[in-house]
Structure 1
Amino acid sequence: METNLTPSSAPDRPASPWLEKLGPGVITGAADDDPSGIATYSQAGAAFGYNILWTVLLTYPLMVAIQIISARIGRVSGHGLATNIRHHYPVSLLYGAVVLLLVANTINIAADLTAMGAAVNLVAGGPTRIYTIGLAVFSLGLQVFVPYKSYVRVLKWLTLALFAYVGVVFAVKIPWMTVAARTVFPHPSWSSVYLTTVVAVFGTTISPYLFFWQASQEVEELQAAHGQRPLRTAPRQAVANLRRIGSDTRVGMAFSNLIAFFIILTTAATLHAHNVTDIQTSSQAASALKPIAGQFAFLLFSLGIIGTGLLALPVLAGSAAYAMAGAFRWKNSLELAPRLAKRFYGIIVLATLVGLALGFTSIDPIKALFWSAVINGVTSVPIMVLTMKMASHADVMGKFTIPGSLRAVGWLATVVMGVAVTAMFVLLVIH
């Protein structure tokens, strides 16, 4: 029997410990619960209590499907979403999408950095702006100067910050029977404010930057692993890798939605129950928790904002950089030295520094986040349509086009997002 296999024909890798298989999916899911997302979930829980929890259950299967599909495109083709779109569709479509993505991500970075600086101030006191600058510089240093193989370990550890929100739930009194009843049988108000909140939760949970990030991270993992090749050219590697993508993404998105559920639950059981219904930022939610739920809950909530921000910043800046690099054919990889991918790292630096600067202007962060959500909504639906078409096309996927069940849920997610975006614009017109 031949034992010297060429890299392109290498068989499936030996089974590794379960936790080692978790990577892009878990990081992507955890990054979805960034400080801006925490603010959205806090607003939802404070305003509508347990009657908004059902949204998190609905988004889970939709989020899993579109993220698995994005990851498959990266692993099968060996290219990120932007490169694949450029190869198979008019570049004008791609250029418009990536510019909108860069704008939306930069606004999100601004909001996240501001929230992180405010959270450090809540916990330790002192100059909020200095904290914000320090966190931006620290995050940039990790992204630019730490190679991918080491950096991805940092990101995996940062996902543990989200367990702070699990701890908060157990630090407050929860009427679990009422929670279960309202989650399955909610009492929605169907007012314009309620519908806007539902749209915001959907837009926060299913965002275009997550599609670009996870597909590109699969390419990074592929390049970092010895003997691995795109599945189109190495079909013997398909079984293990597609199984890993499925389990990794399901766990990651479950993690993301569970934390979102706990944030809504915490603010519903504390703030909403005490008629504190107007929450604008994540740090405001943390402050409001202190007199109601106590010092421990306040600390956990605040520290969670800082940890999740450190996880989300590289995903926001990195996904924009991957998209721009794919659109304009730049070298791109977090494993490359900065001098070998200057324009790729330039976008990461630019998005972070512009986001930092925006936080020091008179721009209303709440309005900025609102328009960021609008831009994300505008961008997400066409990107999801193109992603679904690519994943179903043999020119991109070879014999690894997505199966019928995954295709059905992926298109359902696309339709749901389309309805959510349409509802958002109808509400804008009404108001």
Structure 2
Amino acid sequence: MFKRFPSFLRHVGPGVVTGAADDDPSGIATYTQAGAQFGTGLLWTVFLSLPFMIAIQLVSARIGRVTGKGVAANLREHTPRPFLMSMVLLLVIANTINIAADIAAMAEALQLVVGGSRHYLAMMFGAVTVLLQVFVPYRKLAPILKWLTLFLFAYVIAVFLVQVPWTRVLYDLVIPKLQWTSAYWMMIVALLGTTISPYLFFWQASQEVEELRLKGRGHRTETQVRHDLRRVKRDTYLGMFFSNSIAFFVMLLGAVVLYTAGIHDVTSAAQAAQALRPLAGDFAFALFAGGIIATGMLAVPVLASSAAYAVAEAFGWPEGLARQWYEAKRFYAIIILATLVGTGLGFTAIDPMKALYWSAVINGVVAVPIMAGMMLLAGNKAVMGPFTSGFKTTWFGWGGVVVMGFAVLMMFWDLLGLSF
């Protein structure tokens, strides 16, 4: 079986890496907090978001694969410039905060295991992720990212080390209990913003473009494009199922261990790992902490690169991890700047986990107009030619826009103190 892993990883594409990057340390903290605060009452959101997540990531990947350009590059050609620039600015802010939270969580997790200075460890992780992106060629970086996806299975294993009330879990999945409070709706928006994140749209589309560059595929026949899209579909389905399955197990672990023990406030993924230790055992703690470090090493490059892709494409600059740093200096400068600023936030008085929560909310709000713009691109024959989205993808893609928009509306409705 293990001999088949290299062959399997050769066939793993941007969809699986994108799905795995969605379960970064900040996402793990959000899922754990949802379980700790609401028990099994929000597990249904994982299954609600899955078809919409598949549809929108499929649209993102198709846009990149068919046009040979990323999402921001296509939006630059077909949407008003102020709209694109405001979306890119909010994306960069949210990504930088995410980077700060992820690096802080990685440093705290490693500190729990080996000790040492949290700030020193954070600087080490920041430097390593920058060096990987700037000096490791994409053809060598891509397999590293693929191998790191396997570490997410640590959270599946951890769940089976504790007692799970499966009857209660199934009941809450079938009959969800809605609460009309701002905390509840803000958590739903944060979960949706963590799961259906704008940075994933930009990343996956751009990685499809990178794959085309690596294969030297410029002009392609219609048959070749259709063959590529079949691979994209399989890859995206697998990646999103993988991502949401891990999210389910992380949230479930927070519910059955922390919520049951009366621990309802989790401020970081590292704190979640520490809280698990006396309740679930040393092995579960080690798995959880190790998973934080591995997923952070996967997610930070994705966050920094997606911000760089968005900015470079918006301004028409040379971009791409397949290029040498001197061929795309401004693209790599954004990667370095986003990572260093994110690392530096850990040295300020800003609470990275509180900022993270709000970045997830920002992602949820920003995702709505970006998703709408992508759906319009995907249905436009002038952009996609004969490869416009099919009925099912279109239906679920627009359904995702409606669901995200409704959750954001309910959050603001309750925050403003309005009532029905």
TM range (shorter): over 0.9
Q: Distance in 1 between matches of 2:107 and 2:188?
A: 28
Aligned partner of 1:182 in structure 2 is: 172
Aligned partner of 1:3 in structure 2 is: none
Q: Choose from 159, 169, 173 the match for 2:163.
A: 173
Q: Distance in 2 between matches of 1:320 and 1:427?
A: 31
Q: Distance in 2 between matches of 1:176 and 1:424?
A: 30
Higher alpha-carbon deviation: 216-225 or 413-422? 413-422
- Pair 1:159 & 2:149 matched: yes
Aligned partner of 2:97 in structure 1 is: 107
| Residues 148 and 334, structure 1, Cα contact 8 Å, conserved in 2 | yes
**What amino acid is aligned across from residue 366 of structure 1 in structure 2?**
M
**What amino acid is aligned across from residue 165 of structure 1 in structure 2?**
Y
Aligned partner of 1:361 in structure 2 is: 348
Deviation at 1:200, TM superposition (A): 1.4
Aligned partner of 1:59 in structure 2 is: 49
- Pair 1:388 & 2:363 matched: no
Q: Distance in 1 between matches of 2:277 and 2:413?
A: 37
5 Å-filtered alignment, 1:308-387, equals: 308-387=295-374
Aligned partner of 2:234 in structure 1 is: 247
- Pair 1:96 & 2:86 matched: yes
5 Å-filtered alignment, 1:9-408, equals: 19-226=9-216, 228-229=217-218, 233-408=220-395
- Pair 1:414 & 2:404 matched: no
| Residues 271 and 277, structure 1, Cα contact 8 Å, conserved in 2 | yes
SS of the aligned residue for 1:409 comes to helix
Q: Distance in 2 between matches of 1:203 and 1:90?
A: 24
CA deviation vs aligned residue, 1:255-303 (integer Å, no higher than 9, x gap): 1100000001111111111111111211111111111111111111111
Q: Distance in 2 between matches of 1:285 and 1:189?
A: 25
Q: Distance in 2 between matches of 1:257 and 1:131?
A: 30
TM-score after normalising by structure 1: 0.93
Q: Distance in 1 between matches of 2:149 and 2:324?
A: 25
Deviation at 1:55, TM superposition (A): 0.5
| Residues 70 and 387, structure 1, Cα contact 8 Å, conserved in 2 | yes
Deviation at 1:417, TM superposition (A): 1.0
**What amino acid is aligned across from residue 50 of structure 2 in structure 1?**
Y
SS of the aligned residue for 1:70 comes to helix
Q: Distance in 2 between matches of 1:210 and 1:126?
A: 33
Aligned partner of 1:11 in structure 2 is: none
Change (3 A) 1:40 1:362: same
**What amino acid is aligned across from residue 29 of structure 2 in structure 1?**
A
**What amino acid is aligned across from residue 338 of structure 2 in structure 1?**
A
Deviation at 1:185, TM superposition (A): 2.0
CA deviation vs aligned residue, 1:366-403 (integer Å, no higher than 9, x gap): 33123312332332111111100000001110111111
Runs of 4+ residues deviating >6 angstroms = none
| Residues 49 and 268, structure 1, Cα contact 8 Å, conserved in 2 | yes
Deviation at 1:172, TM superposition (A): 1.0
**What amino acid is aligned across from residue 86 of structure 1 in structure 2?**
R
Q: Distance in 2 between matches of 1:192 and 1:273?
A: 23
CA deviation vs aligned residue, 1:44-84 (integer Å, no higher than 9, x gap): 11111111110001111110000000000000000001111
SS of the aligned residue for 2:361 comes to helix
Gaps of 5+ in 1: 1-15
SS of the aligned residue for 1:332 comes to coil
| Residues 50 and 186, structure 1, Cα contact 8 Å, conserved in 2 | no
Deviation at 1:201, TM superposition (A): 0.9
**What amino acid is aligned across from residue 339 of structure 1 in structure 2?**
Y
**What amino acid is aligned across from residue 220 of structure 1 in structure 2?**
E
**What amino acid is aligned across from residue 132 of structure 1 in structure 2?**
A
Q: Percent identity?
A: 55
**What amino acid is aligned across from residue 112 of structure 2 in structure 1?**
L
Q: Distance in 1 between matches of 2:147 and 2:8?
A: 16
Q: Distance in 1 between matches of 2:178 and 2:198?
A: 28
**What amino acid is aligned across from residue 356 of structure 2 in structure 1?**
L
Q: Distance in 1 between matches of 2:392 and 2:173?
A: 26
**What amino acid is aligned across from residue 152 of structure 1 in structure 2?**
A
| Residues 9 and 146, structure 2, Cα contact 8 Å, conserved in 1 | no
Aligned residues: 413
